[in-house]
Amino acid sequence: MQERTSTTERYTRGVAAALVAVVTLILAANAGPARATVPEQQRTPQVNPVQSLP
C-alpha cells in the first residue's frame, strides 16, 4: 500500500509544474521566425515615392 503524500509535497509539485508551464509559454512566445539580414543596397523599395503635383 502506498503512503499518503504530504500536503507540502503536493503543493511543491504543483508550484514546480506551474513554473515549468510559465517558462515554456514564455519561451514559445519569444520563438519566432528570424528576420532576414539583407544589406540596404540590395533591398527593393516597397513603396513608390510620392510625386509632387505641378
Encode pLDDT of 26-52 as tens digits: 998 887 766 666 565 666 667 777 777
- CA separation for the pair 37, 24 (Å, rounded): 28
Helices (H) and strands (E) in the chain, counts: 1, 0
Sign for the CA dihedral angle at 25, 27, 30, 35 comes to: negative
Global pTM?
Answer: 0.52
Predicted local confidence at residue 5, as pLDDT: 84
* Better-scored residue on pLDDT, 53 or 23: 23
Classify residue 37 as exposed, middle or buried by CB count within 10 Å of its CB (0-12, 13-18, 19+): exposed
Q: Give the separation between CA 30 and CA 23, rounded to whole angstroms.
A: 11
**Which tens digits make up the pLDDT trace of 4-30?**
889 999 999 999 999 999 999 999 888
